Amino acid sequence: MFDWLANPNRFNRITEKIQPCIFLIAIITLVSGLYFSLFDSPKDYQQGDAVRIMYVHVPSAWLASILYFSLAISCVFYLVWKHPLADLVSSSIAPIGALFSALTLVTGSLWGKPMWGTWWVWDARLTSMLVLFFFYLGYILLSNAFERKIDGSKTASVLAIVGLINLPIVKFSVDWWHTLHQPASIIKIGGPSIDDKMLLPLILMIFALSFFSLYMIILNVKTKLIEKKCEALLLKSNLEEISKAG
Amino acid sequence: MNELFWVMQGYEIYIWPSYVLTLLSLGLLFVHSTKQLQKAKKLLKQLSKTKN
Amino acid sequence: MLYLKDVTIKRGLKTVFYNWSATIENSKVTIISGKNGVGKSTLLRAIAGMIPIEKGIVKNHDNEIFKDKIKWGQNLIYIDSKNGLSKDLTVFENLKTWSEMRGWKTSDNDLQKALDSVDMLNHKNLYVSQCSEGLKKRAALSRLYLSLLFDVGFWLLDEPTNELDQKSIILFNKLIQRFLENKGTILLACHELKLFNFNYELLNLDLLKKKN
Amino acid sequence: MLYLKDVTIKRGLKTVFYNWSATIENSKVTIISGKNGVGKSTLLRAIAGMIPIEKGIVKNHDNEIFKDKIKWGQNLIYIDSKNGLSKDLTVFENLKTWSEMRGWKTSDNDLQKALDSVDMLNHKNLYVSQCSEGLKKRAALSRLYLSLLFDVGFWLLDEPTNELDQKSIILFNKLIQRFLENKGTILLACHELKLFNFNYELLNLDLLKKKN
Amino acid sequence: MSLQSSFIQIFISHIKREFLINFRSLVDVIAIISFMILIVTLFVLGIGPFEEKLKLISNAIFWIGLILAIIPSLEKTLQKDYDNGWLDQATTSPTPMELILLSKSLAYWLIVIIPLLISLPLFIVLLNIKLKLIPWLLISLLIGGLSISLIGIIGSALTLGAKRGNILLPILIIPLIIPILIFGVGISEAVRINESPLGNLFLLIGFTLIYLVISPFISAFLIRIAISR
Amino acid sequence: MSLQSSFIQIFISHIKREFLINFRSLVDVIAIISFMILIVTLFVLGIGPFEEKLKLISNAIFWIGLILAIIPSLEKTLQKDYDNGWLDQATTSPTPMELILLSKSLAYWLIVIIPLLISLPLFIVLLNIKLKLIPWLLISLLIGGLSISLIGIIGSALTLGAKRGNILLPILIIPLIIPILIFGVGISEAVRINESPLGNLFLLIGFTLIYLVISPFISAFLIRIAISR
Ligand code: HEM
Ligand SMILES: Nc1ncnc2c1ncn2[C@@H]1O[C@H](COP(=O)(O)OP(=O)(O)OP(=O)(O)O)[C@@H](O)[C@H]1O
Ligand SMILES: Nc1ncnc2c1ncn2[C@@H]1O[C@H](COP(=O)(O)OP(=O)(O)OP(=O)(O)O)[C@@H](O)[C@H]1O
Ligand SMILES: [Mg+2]
Ligand SMILES: [Mg+2]
């Protein structure tokens, strides 16, 4: 699939067609998600209206995790199969993922203040999200810390892959900590402890953010493909000048 | 829209910022990336023009 | 014969060689010359395998040299102005750890002979941090003698004569002579051609790069 | 006239000069030569005031030079193989910060002219970490031009020509010529005497030290 | 033609140089802030996430974080400037070495303190610091940071010439730093138990002033020794 | 005449080289011990010398001390060997870079662990550590130290060729080290509350084994990039 998409022209042709669809789905789910989460969802019996923060917090958290996974996978593609497109994909994912993990931290804090009376608690999930955020940050800083883009891409990809091994361990190990956090309720599919009516806006928001991210990734990859073309053109004209001058 | 909705049981100072922040950053990301794409496209056009 | 065919080598963002070709004859000395920043060191580092060759091939006889990097590593010695000496070790310890790093089992006797070949035996136990510039360079060049004992085919030397005094230049010339007798190939970047008393091929990058 | 009278200079535990005397003529070039490790760099560093002179005196005309270190510092430029360039700054930034460090108010125009004097104007914005060895050396030597604009009397240069290509050597010779016209005094450690096209005094430490 | 600059100008141009080398972009600010956050994380994870424990050590974390942020990087620039010959250039120039070293330590103070001040609200949240403590924390970190960097440069100069410098450095300077730590922690403790922190603050200021005066001379002396080797 | 040594011999000779450079005399052992002592002092002074408080953090002190002792010095040797061209010599030799890096990280582990073990009794007294904890502390520091140095070399290699690498290093490395800290502290905690520490121990061992396998390859890959600049 990736191999097949790796051709830039094919990538452009296909995305040209599906991009509007993705955008449309993102908008529809976002608007309806917002409607349900703000207007048409029940108050939690304990948290009251404060539970509404969940509809931005949890989707952000999910996306931060999912995007990191995709980032690392695309880094594997880049390092192992050396698809240049894979690097563009990973470098497009990274800032979006970093944004979502930052949003998770901020909205979580905004949730924590009314619920726990404190902005921050060194609880397992919070800590591992913080670590995730630093993996994103490390990836971004490292990929820009080299003179040659390719060196930065390779080095940062290594970091992302190490993170893929390390993050589950971090998550798992940090879970040893006693937690104030609520138990994972969606995961317990057997009997979700939250209201079905709360589930709907949650799922809608997750879809909205996922499609939005997908759209943004495609957009960024396109931008980078064009930038690459520009660079190649510039280089070519430079080299021609050099050979003329020589 | 009634007053009660905006106040949200006194949680409004937590709820609205989280929504606004989320939507704002998504919006900014969208605008920024689209601009970037437009810029790149323009540059490419210029370059291919000067080449020919 | 070392063939470089249509190679493109970048250094940072700068393309130093672009679709460039050259041949380097075996069992001879080739002196690479050219103005500062033309790419002498880059070329040597690329042939040594440290800087990737973006495009093109480098062949030794009919083997692409980077196909088997270990074999190519076995076959070459690279010395540049960085010397590769640890300041916190003595001259002797540096040579010894270096030869161990290459996996060579050298006797202390061999090591001493190597140091003697560049007149460093008196300075054997001097820490490198206490050596003058020329002594450091000589300590690095003592590796060349060791390589005569093992099966090394190439010396890649980047400005090896810079800090050497007259006597050391003579000793260095002798080492080169011995290596040539062993059918070794030498690539040497240098600005001062008058220091050498042997026949050499000249690879002037100024001229060669304009031609392409 | 720079007199060194009965000086003893140590380097670590080693006494490099012992009760040694020499004179160095003003407004001339004196080339210090000698074999590796004889003490050329030590001598230059001692005169520059970095290595203490254990015994003996060094006089310029009738002033002991180390009586007023600030004045002596004002009066000299010292450049050795370390160059004194920060890798993380560009060639231009390095020159600018250097001249600011000396307290010289130089215009950007002067700095550019200085870089031009060693043909480094094209490489002005190159980070030093991206310079080839020769380019680094040239970036360091560009200070010499600046010193022509200010009241500097001495250049102490330790193997300044090592990495330079032919063209840079010519430019370097020109700088020396201009400094001599300004009545400047040059002390220069070097192994290769053929590079210079001016009259020089030779201070061969091999011979001088045996005599004592 | 001798357009000599004044010492002040030379001093400022030196600070500019350090900023050029070490503070080229936003990345550096982000990096220092992240470094501090991660130090906090490391401590918290080592100790356990319980609030009561955290309260006990939040002061210590700040100070140790500050020490770890300033001293290693100060050591590194000095080492770099020694290795690349910049310090040789400085000694063979009319500018006093003392001035150069003073500017170096002030530059490093600024380089670390500016990001720290920017991110102080974040730490207040992370470590759950009480509001009344904040002005005192601010002022004690500002002053303490200055003395840490003044001491740091002495330590770096001490180990510059020493062969086994890298390991010796902390040993040599930690005794010098301990008083700062004690006064700094003393300030916050006093505020916490509603006593006047002024005593400790004055001690901290006095201590810093002493180092402000002696540090450039001591480190210049040490560097001359290192260069003369 | 080709008397090739085996990989094992090359490996050992590399460790010997690191010891020659870093461990020449008793001074080096003492230096590392005093470094650890000073870390303890810093903590104690930052927190206040009350026993209950100390008990809470004695684990954290050990682990943070270990991290601070291994990683900066590991980074420094790698940087030194990069600057002086030794890594160039290693890449242009038949010996695989992986082997060299593995030996480097093991050497650093030994260099820090040996003095630590020698001085453990001292810390037991200083920090008032219970006897039943000691064997577990010993084993967890041994294993944890190994994984810290394996990770440390990855981090150093990541930042070797990077601009402003020294400032990036902690950001990259601390997240990787967190599990070690947690498992390590977990072992002692388990012992303290009379539960079995084996679970945490096995996790620590597993973690270390993963890095033992991947670290040399990853860091060799990264160093090749740094050298190709
Ligand atoms: C900076 C602070 C916070 C961070 C980083 C954070 C992180 C996360 C993450 C990563 C998830 C997804 C977990 C999963 O899907 O398994 C999550 C879910 C959740 N968080 Fe937070 N959280 C924070 C603060 C809070 C606060 C203050 C509350 C409110 C009490 C809260 C309540 C929840 C709830 C109810 C869920 C959904 C449970 C689930 O999906 O399993 N979080 N949080
Ligand atoms: N830091 C030091 N500690 C001890 N001895 C030193 C130190 N630096 C140099 N030496 C010794 O002092 C002597 C003089 O060194 P110096 O660098 O002056 O030689 P030089 O004439 O410049 O040689 P070269 O031609 O190699 O540059 C040498 O024998 C050297 O080994
Ligand atoms: N790390 C780097 N990043 C970017 N450009 C570099 C880098 N290293 C070298 N260059 C550039 O590559 C070109 C070739 O450098 P190289 O060192 O090969 O020159 P050289 O011929 O050896 O010169 P010299 O005679 O001065 O040693 C130079 O223009 C130099 O500025
Ligand atoms: Mg070169
Ligand atoms: Mg010398």
Ligand 1 probe mutation, A125, A174, A175, most atoms within 8 A of CB: A125
Residues in Cβ contact with F26 at an 8 Å cutoff, skipping those fewer than 6 apart: none
For range E39-45, the mean pLDDT: 84
Query: Is residue E95's pLDDT more than 50?
Result: yes
For range C64-87, the mean pLDDT: 92
Query: Is residue E78's pLDDT more than 60?
Result: yes
**Which residue, among E168, A146, C89, E82, has the nearest Cα to F73 in the 3D structure?**
E168
Minimum Cα–Cα distance from A138: chain E residue: E31
The number of folded domains in chain E is 1
What strand order describes the sheet that includes C76-79? C76-79, C154-158, C185-189, C29-33, C200-204
CB D57 within 8 A of CB D5: yes
The whole-number pLDDT of residue A246 equals 43
Instruction: Give E48's contacts in chain A (Cβ within 8 Å).
Output: 177
**Which residue, among A50, A107, A96, has the nearest Cα to A217 in the 3D structure?**
A96
pLDDT digits (tens, 9 = 90+) for E139-178: 999 999 999 999 999 988 988 866 554 556 666 777 788 8
CA separation, residue E109 to residues E20, E142, E177 (Å): 15, 9, 15
Query: Is residue E19's pLDDT more than 50?
Result: yes
% pLDDT > 90, chain D? 79
Query: Is residue F96's pLDDT more than 90?
Result: yes
Which one is predicted more confidently, A237 or E200? E200
Query: Is residue F2's pLDDT more than 70?
Result: no
Pick from A78-87, D169-178, F41-50: least confident: F41-50
CA separation, residue C205 to residues A205, C17, C198, C212, E10 (Å): 63, 10, 21, 11, 43
Q: Please indicate whether chains A and F are in contact, defined as at least 3 beta carbon pairs under 8 Å.
A: yes
Nearest ligand 2 atom, CA D205: 21
Query: Is residue B18's pLDDT more than 70?
Result: yes
The whole-number pLDDT of residue F120 equals 86
CA distance A42 to D77: 80
Hey, CA dihedral for E142, E145, E149, E150, is it positive or negative? Answer: positive
Ligand 2 probe mutation, D7, D8, D10, D14, most atoms within 8 A of CB: D14
The beta-carbon neighbor of C12 closest among A148, A235, A243 is A148
**Which residue, among D52, D39, D44, D49, has the nearest Cα to D24 in the 3D structure?**
D44
Which one is predicted more confidently, F115 or B10? F115
CA distance A157 to A161: 6
Instruction: Extract the tokens encoding D79.
Output: 């450049």
Burial of C115 (0-12, 13-18, 19+ CB in 10 A): buried
- Residue type at C174 in one-letter notation: K
Q: Would you give the DSSP letter of residue E196?
A: -
The whole-number pLDDT of residue F220 equals 96
In this prediction, residue E110 has a pLDDT band, given cuts at 50, 70 and 90, of very high
Nearest ligand 3 atom, CA C13: 4
CA distance A121 to A174: 13
- Which structural domain, as residue segments, surrounds residue F175? 2-227
Q: Phi/psi zone of residue E204: left (φ > 0), alpha (ψ -120 to 50 degrees), beta?
A: alpha
Hey, CA dihedral for A65, A69, A74, A80, is it positive or negative? Answer: positive
Per-residue b or e along A36-57, where b marks 16 or more CB atoms closer than 10 Å to that residue's CB: bbbeebeeeeebebbbbbbbbb
DSSP for A128-181? HHHHHHHHHHHHHHHHTSSSSHHHHHHHHHHHHHHHHHHHHHHHHHHTTS---S
For range D160-189, the mean pLDDT: 93
Query: Is residue A186's pLDDT more than 60?
Result: no
Query: Is residue B48's pLDDT more than 90?
Result: no
Residues in Cβ contact with F60 at an 8 Å cutoff, skipping those fewer than 6 apart: E43, E46, E47, F43, F181, F185
pLDDT digits (tens, 9 = 90+) for F119-157: 888 888 878 888 888 899 999 999 999 999 999 999 999
**Which residue, among E123, E102, E106, has the nearest Cα to E32 in the 3D structure?**
E123
The beta-carbon neighbor of E21 closest among D11, D86, D103 is D86
Q: What angle do CA F5, F7, F11 make, to 5 degrees?
A: 105
**F190 in contact with A at a CB cutoff of 8 Å?**
no
- Residue given tokens 């303190």 in the structure block: E113
CA distance F32 to C161: 41
CA distance D180 to D175: 9
Residues in Cβ contact with A192 at an 8 Å cutoff, skipping those fewer than 6 apart: A185, A186, A199
Which one is predicted more confidently, C178 or E54? C178
The complex's ipTM works out to 0.90
Query: Is residue F24's pLDDT more than 80?
Result: no
CA of C41 to the centre of ligand 4 (A): 4
CA separation, residue F162 to residues B28, D24, F98 (Å): 30, 47, 20
Instruction: Extract the tokens encoding D154.
Output: 């001495």
CA separation, residue E221 to residues A32, A52, D44, D48, E215 (Å): 72, 65, 21, 17, 10
Q: Which residues of A touch B (CB under 8 A)?
A: 34, 38-39, 43, 48-50, 52-53, 56-57, 60, 95-96, 99, 103, 106-107, 110-111, 113-114, 209, 212, 216, 219-220, 222-223, 226-227, 229-230, 233-234, 237
- Residue given tokens 């955008």 in the structure block: A23
In this prediction, residue D210 has a pLDDT band, given cuts at 50, 70 and 90, of low
CB F64 within 8 A of CB F39: yes
For range C12-31, the mean pLDDT: 90
For range C60-70, the mean pLDDT: 88
The whole-number pLDDT of residue E175 equals 78
CB A207 within 8 A of CB A27: no
User: Which three-class secondary structure string do you get for D6-50?
Assistant: EEEEEECCEEEEEEEEEEECCCCEEEEECCCCCCHHHHHHHHHCC
CA separation, residue E32 to residues D48, E29, E141, F75, F169 (Å): 39, 5, 15, 18, 11
In this prediction, residue E86 has a pLDDT band, given cuts at 50, 70 and 90, of very high
**Which residue, among A165, A136, A11, has the nearest Cα to A76 in the 3D structure?**
A165
Going by alpha carbons, the residue nearest to atom 7 of ligand 3 is D130
Which one is predicted more confidently, A187 or F178? F178
The whole-number pLDDT of residue F1 equals 43
For range C14-36, the mean pLDDT: 92
In this prediction, residue B52 has a pLDDT band, given cuts at 50, 70 and 90, of low
Helix ranges, chain C (H): 40-48, 69-74, 91-101, 108-117, 133-149, 166-181, 205-211
Give the Cβ contact number of residue F16 at 10 Å: 17
Ligand 2 probe mutation, C132, C137, C162, C164, most atoms within 8 A of CB: C132
Residues in Cβ contact with A66 at an 8 Å cutoff, skipping those fewer than 6 apart: A210
Query: E216 phi and psi, to 5 degrees?
Result: -60, -40
E125 min Cα distance to partner chain A (Å): 6
Which one is predicted more confidently, E58 or B8? E58
% pLDDT > 90, chain A? 39
Q: Would you give the DSSP letter of residue A43?
A: P
Residues in Cβ contact with F190 at an 8 Å cutoff, skipping those fewer than 6 apart: F196, F197, F199, F200
Query: Is residue D102's pLDDT more than 70?
Result: yes
CA distance E121 to E136: 14
pLDDT digits (tens, 9 = 90+) for E180-196: 888 888 888 888 888 88
The whole-number pLDDT of residue D184 equals 93
Query: Is residue D150's pLDDT more than 80?
Result: yes
For range A124-142, the mean pLDDT: 90
Length of chain E: 229
Query: Is residue C153's pLDDT more than 80?
Result: yes
Instruction: Give B51's contacts in chain A (Cβ within 8 Å).
Output: 233, 237
In this prediction, residue A183 has a pLDDT band, given cuts at 50, 70 and 90, of very low
pLDDT digits (tens, 9 = 90+) for D37-78: 999 999 999 999 999 999 999 998 888 888 888 889 999 999
Query: Is residue D116's pLDDT more than 80?
Result: yes
For range F80-99, the mean pLDDT: 94
Which ligand sits nearest to residue D164's alpha carbon? 3
In this prediction, residue E127 has a pLDDT band, given cuts at 50, 70 and 90, of confident
CB A177 within 8 A of CB A126: no
Query: Is residue A42's pLDDT more than 70?
Result: no
User: Which three-class secondary structure string do you get for chain F?
Assistant: CCCECCHHHHHHHHHHHHHHHHCCCHHHHHHHHHHHHHHHHHHHHHHCCCHHHHHHHHHHHHHHHHHHHHHHHHHHHHHHHHHCCHHHHHHCCCCCHHHHHHHHHHHHHHHHHHHHHHHHHHHHHHHCCCHHHHHHHHHHHHHHHHHHHHHHHHHHHHHHCCCCHHHHHHHHHHHHHHHHHHHHHHHHHHHHCCCCCHHHHHHHHHHHHHHHHHHHHHHHHHHHHHHCC
Instruction: Give A130's contacts in chain E (Cβ within 8 Å).
Output: 37, 41
**F76 in contact with C at a CB cutoff of 8 Å?**
no
Query: Is residue A2's pLDDT more than 90?
Result: no
In this prediction, residue A192 has a pLDDT band, given cuts at 50, 70 and 90, of very low
For range F67-81, the mean pLDDT: 88
CA distance A87 to A10: 17
The whole-number pLDDT of residue C192 equals 86
For range E111-123, the mean pLDDT: 88
F158:A142 CB<8 A: yes
Query: Is residue B11's pLDDT more than 70?
Result: no
For range C84-113, the mean pLDDT: 94
Inter-axis angle of helices E165-192 and E198-227, nearest 10: 170
CB C69 within 8 A of CB C178: no
Which of the other chains make 3 or more beta carbon contacts under 8 angstroms with chain A?
A: B, C, E, F
- Residue type at F117 in one-letter notation: L
Mean pLDDT, chain A, whole residue set: 82
CB F201 within 8 A of CB F139: yes
CA distance C79 to C188: 10
Mean pLDDT, chain C, whole residue set: 91
- Residue type at C188 in one-letter notation: L
Instruction: Extract the tokens encoding E78.
Output: 């000095």
CA distance A121 to D172: 66
For range E114-132, the mean pLDDT: 85
